[in-house]
Each structure stands twice: as structure tokens, then as C-alpha cells.
């Protein structure tokens, strides 16, 4: 598959994710961390217009110069932008306008890619495609949040696709010897800058669970008073539990003595054998403490990743999101992509059922603030 075909395939997939939506669904922003689907469609298009077409196509005419203000996410180098909390107030441009914007940019991108872009430009396009795949996952999780916080619990589609298979409890552990391990991306394809540079770390011997924690195991934690046992929690985590009245994972509901959870095909009874999902770092760490275990570091996770199945849930690690030795930010706006966020966030490893196929790798570093849980986040234990 050449780059032009790859481009069209990724762009098509984004629109397929939005196909089940009604027009009203495109504009909702329930909380600051969730962006309206309409904004994702526009922002991913703005990326190609701003970082590829405007710099590379002589005489290129922007679809609408005002869109730079509307769809710039966090690039200070590019200029002023709508603040994140106000994305849901954008009744204009309309959904129809944004689909016309996508078609306009796609035509120009297709002409550029067929014409044979330079190697440097191809690198920027590849970054843009990986950026859009990140937003495809955000689209799925944001749509789930929007519909899952509607009191009617409407279904996104009739049957959830890509549903994670049932699994055994997390009782078996893989032994890992103390040794020097190579960490970071060392292949020849694409990776994000935060996966570089490759370096070595020494790890003491440890063991890591062969399976993720299941819903049944987490229900046991709840039943044992896990959310009220202050000895299990980080101080910030306990404050978060108290201030937000947290008593179960996101989307869980106890109805007539049975646990239910909201899924993309509606509210259903909880399957006890599936990996627990929509867990914050605080909850993951408290559960691990309750089990007499801990969360793995991101280095322990990567060193052992070939020995267990991963990809069902983003897995919290006990590692702060920091630069690797030799990390360098690219010049200009592209350099704002990852490095500026390397503070006050925790690393997650793996992928989830919402991650586009082929998008992740065992060196991939996801990162979120410890209280967040609207992504498909789960738990793997270590000791």
C-alpha cells in the first residue's frame, strides 16, 4: 500500500466511526477531556492543511482561514485558538461544513501524494496519519462518554464490535530475571518521538501477571470495602474518591443487586470474566495494594511484553511520563507534539479494543493524568 492509499484509508476510517451518529451527537462536550466528534473531524483535517498543504503547495488556498483558530488544539507556535472547554459551544461550522472541509483537503492531499512528495514531507504525512489514528481511538471513547452519560443510555450500534474475549483471572505470574534490558523503539518504521532514544535499563528480578485483572476480581475489591479503606490509596487518590463520590469503575451501575455497565451497544449485565475497564491510575494502584502486589514500571512491562498477550486494555504502569535519555524535540510546532506534556502524567502501555489495528507496538507510550479513566484502561499486576 503506497502513502496515498494509506492516507485515504485512514481518512475513510475516521468517517466510518462517525457514521452511526446523529447530527446532535456531533456537537456535545459533557466534560473538558471529551471533545465533540465534530471537532475531531475538523482538527485532524486542520493538521494536514496546516503542516503539509500550506507549507508545500504553491498558491494553496485555505478552505476557511478562521478554522485555524477553531481547530488548533494546543500548538502555541501556530497561534491563538478556542480554549478546550469551549469546543462544545461551536454550533458553527456545521457538521456539513466540516465534511466539506475534509473533502476539500483530501482532494489537495491526494494530488500532492500522487505527485511524489519529498522524503521529509512523507515523514510529516506519516505523523499526521498516526495522529489521526490516535483521534480515531479518542473518537470512540468520546462517543462512548457522550452516549454513556445520556440518561437514556442509547446504543452507538446494535452489536459491539471488537469485544475483548473472556479470560482467566490474573493469578499466574511470569518470572523475569534481573538483567539489563533494552528499552525504546529500535525498528525501521514509524514511531513517536517519545519512544526514543533506545537505551538500556537494569531491572531487578520481578514477576508480572500473565493476564489482566478481571471484572470479578474487581467486584471482590469493591465488596471488601476497597474504596473506603484509606490504607490502600495515595493521598490524592483518596481525595479524588471522596470529592467525586467514586465507588466503582466508570460506567458501572449496581441495579437490584447485580452489576451492569454501559457499553457501545447499551446497558448490559457485567461479564465477570472480561478484563476490568475504565479504571483510573488511583484505582489501579489501590487494587494492586489490596492484592498485596503493585503495578509494573513501564520498563518492566516492555521487557516482558513478548511473554503475555496485550492489547485488550491500556495498562497503567507505575512510571511517570518523562523523557528518555537522548530525547530531542523537533523544531517548530511539531516539537510540541509530546515533549511539552512530560509532567504530572502516568504512562500506560499496550493498546485497547478501540485502538486502530497496527497502530500500537510494545514500545508505544500512552500517557494520561492519574484521575482519568474514560479511555479503555485496565490493570496488570506485578510483584
pLDDT along the chain (383 residues), means of 10: 94 98 97 96 97 94 95 84 88 97 98 91 96 98 98 86 71 96 96 96 98 97 98 98 98 98 96 97 98 98 98 98 93 84 97 96 98 98 98
Number of other residues whose CB lies within 10 A of the CB of residue 201: 18
Helix (H) or strand (E) holding 374: none
Residue 360 in contact with residue 193, Cβ under 8 Å?
no
What cell was used for 253? 451501575
Give dist(CA 88, CA 102) in Å, integer: 20
Residue 363 in contact with residue 198, Cβ under 8 Å?
no
CA-wise closest residue to 212 among 377, 40, 38: 377
Q: What's the pLDDT at 270?
A: 97
User: If you classify domain 3-148 with CATH, what class do you get?
Assistant: mainly alpha
Name the residue ranges covered by the structural domains of the chain.
Answer: 3-148, 173-378
The gap between the terminal CA atoms of the chain, to the nearest Å, is: 43
What cell was used for 260? 451492569
CA-wise closest residue to 250 among 283, 285, 296: 283
Strand pairing partners for 122?
none
Number of other residues whose CB lies within 10 A of the CB of residue 268: 13
CATH 2.60.40.1180 applies to domain 173-378: no
By DSSP bridging, strand 314-320 and strand 377-378 are parallel
**How long is the chain?**
383
Q: What is the pTM of this model?
A: 0.95
Q: State whether residue 297 is helix, strand or coil.
A: coil
Distances (CA, A) of 232 to 235, 292, 355: 9, 10, 31
Amino acid at each position: 500500500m503506497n502513502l496515498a492509499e494509506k492516507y485515504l484509508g485512514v481518512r475513510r476510517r475516521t468517517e466510518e466511526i462517525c457514521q452511526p451518529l446523529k447530527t446532535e451527537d456531533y456537537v456535545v462536550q459533557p466534560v473538558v477531556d471529551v471533545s465533540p466528534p465534530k471537532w475531531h473531524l475538523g482538527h485532524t483535517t486542520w493538521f494536514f492543511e496546516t503542516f503539509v498543504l500550506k507549507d508545500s503547495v504553491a498558491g494553496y488556498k485555505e478552505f476557511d482561514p478562521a478554522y485555524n483558530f477553531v481547530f488548533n488544539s494546543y500548538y502555541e507556535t501556530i497561534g491563538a485558538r478556542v480554549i478546550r472547554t469551549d469546543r462544545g459551544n461551536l454550533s458553527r461550522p456545521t457538521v456539513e461544513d466540516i465534511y466539506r472541509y475534509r473533502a476539500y483537503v483530501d482532494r489537495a492531499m491526494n494530488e500532492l501524494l500522487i505527485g511524489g512528495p519529498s522524503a521529509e514531507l512523507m515523514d510529516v504525512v506519516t505523523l499526521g496519519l498516526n495522529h489521526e489514528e490516535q483521534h480515531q481511538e479518542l473518537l470512540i471513547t468520546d462517543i462512548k462518554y457522550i452516549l454513556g452519560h445520556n440518561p437514556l443510555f442509547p446504543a452507538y450500534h446494535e452489536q459491539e464490535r471488537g469485544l475483548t474475549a473472556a479470560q482467566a483471572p490474573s493469578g499466574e505470574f511470569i518470572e523475569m530475571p534481573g538483567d539489563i534490558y533494552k528499552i525504546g523503539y529500535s525498528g525501521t518504521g514509524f514511531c513517536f518521538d517519545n519512544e526514543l532514544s533506545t537505551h538500556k535499563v537494569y531491572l531487578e528480578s520481578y514477576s508480572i501477571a500473565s493476564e489482566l485483572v478481571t471484572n470479578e476480581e474487581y467486584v471482590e475489591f469493591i465488596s471488601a470495602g476497597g474504596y473506603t479503606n484509606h490504607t490502600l490509596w495515595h493521598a490524592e487518590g483518596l481525595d479524588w474518591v471522596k470529592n467525586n463520590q467514586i465507588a466503582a469503575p466508570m460506567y458501572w451501575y449496581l441495579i437490584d443487586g447485580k452489576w451492569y455497565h454501559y457499553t457501545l451497544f447499551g446497558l448490559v449485565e457485567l461479564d465477570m470474566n472480561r478484563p476490568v475497564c475504565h479504571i483510573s491510575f488511583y484505582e489501579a494502584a489501590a487494587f494492586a495494594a489490596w492484592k498485596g502486589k503493585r503495578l509494573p514500571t513501564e520498563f518492566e512491562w516492555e521487557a516482558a511484553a513478548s511473554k503475555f498477550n496485550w492489547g485488550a486494555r491500556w495498562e497503567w504502569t507505575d512510571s511517570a511520563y518523562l523523557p528518555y535519555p537522548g530525547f530531542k524535540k523537533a523544531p517548530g510546532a511539531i516539537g510540541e507534539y509530546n515533549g511539552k506534556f512530560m509532567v504530572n502524567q502516568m504512562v500506560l502501555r499496550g493498546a485497547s479494543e478501540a485502538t486502530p489495528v497496527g497502530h500500537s507496538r510494545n514500545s508505544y507510550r500512552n500517557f494520561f493524568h492519574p484521575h482519568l479513566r474514560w479511555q479503555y484502561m485496565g490493570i496488570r499486576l506485578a510483584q
